[in-house]
Chain A
Amino acid sequence: MSWLLDPFRAEFMQRALVATLVIGIVAPVVGTWVVLRRMANLGDAMAHGTLAGVGIAYAIGVDVLFGAVGAGLLLATLLVTFSGNRRLGQETVVTVLGTAFFGLGVVVISRLDTGVELTHFLFGRVLTVGWGDIWLNIALGGAAVATVLALFGELRLATFDHVQAEQVGVRVELVQAILVVLLAVVVVISLRAVGTVMSVTLLVTPAATARLFARSLRQMTTWAVLLGVAEGFVGLVLSYHLEAAPGATIGLTAAVVFAVVFAATLPRRMPHHHRPLG
Chain B
Amino acid sequence: MSPHRHSHGPHHAPGPDGVVLELQSLGVELGDRRVLDDVSFSVRRGELIAVVGPNGAGKSTLMKAICGLVNHDGVVEVNGVHCHDRTDRMDIAYIPQRNESDLAFPLTVGELVCAGRRRFRRWWQRPTEADRVVVDEALTRVLLPGTADRSLTELSGGQLQRAYLARSLAQQASVVLLDEALSGVDEPTTEELFDVFAALVEQGTTLLVATHDLGLVRRRFPRCLAVNGTLLVDGAPSDVLSMEAVDTLFSVRPAR
Contacts and interface: CB of A to CB of B under 8 A. Distances in A.
Nearest to A272: B153
A164 interface: yes
A160 B118 contact: no
A160 B86 contact: no
Nearest to A219: B106
B20 interface: no
Interface in B196-213: none
Given A150-B124, A167-B67, A216-B108, A160 B115 contact: yes
A135 to B, nearest CB: 28
Contacts of A161: 96, 101, 115
Contacts of B156: 277-278
A257 interface: no
A164 B93 contact: yes
Interface residues of B, number: 39
A236 B223 CA distance: 68
A215 B151 contact: yes
Contacts of B93: 164, 167
Nearest to B124: A150
B167 A164 contact: yes
Nearest to A166: B86
A19 to B, nearest CB: 30
B189 interface: yes
A153 B94 contact: no
Nearest to B123: A154
Interface residues of A, number: 29
Interface in B76-125: 86-87, 89-90, 92-94, 96, 98, 101-102, 105-108, 111-112, 115-116, 118-119, 123-124
Nearest to B184: A277
A160 B69 contact: no
Contacts of B171: 168
Given A163-B96, A278-B158, A169 B107 contact: no
A171 B86 CA distance: 11
Interface string B121-140: 00110110000000000000
A215 B106 CA distance: 6
Given A164-B93, A164-B167, A170 B107 contact: no
B14 interface: no
Contacts of A169: 87, 90, 118-119, 123
Interface string B222-239: 000000000000000000
B157 A277 contact: yes
A220 B107 CA distance: 11
A217 B158 contact: no
19 contacts: A150-B124, A153-B118, A159-B102, A160-B107, A160-B112, A163-B69, A165-B115, A167-B67, A167-B68, A167-B86, A167-B92, A167-B93, A170-B118, A211-B106, A217-B106, A217-B107, A219-B106, A277-B157, A278-B157
Nearest first, the 7 closest Cβ-Cβ pairs linking A and B are: A278-B156, A168-B119, A168-B118, A278-B157, A277-B157, A160-B105, A217-B106
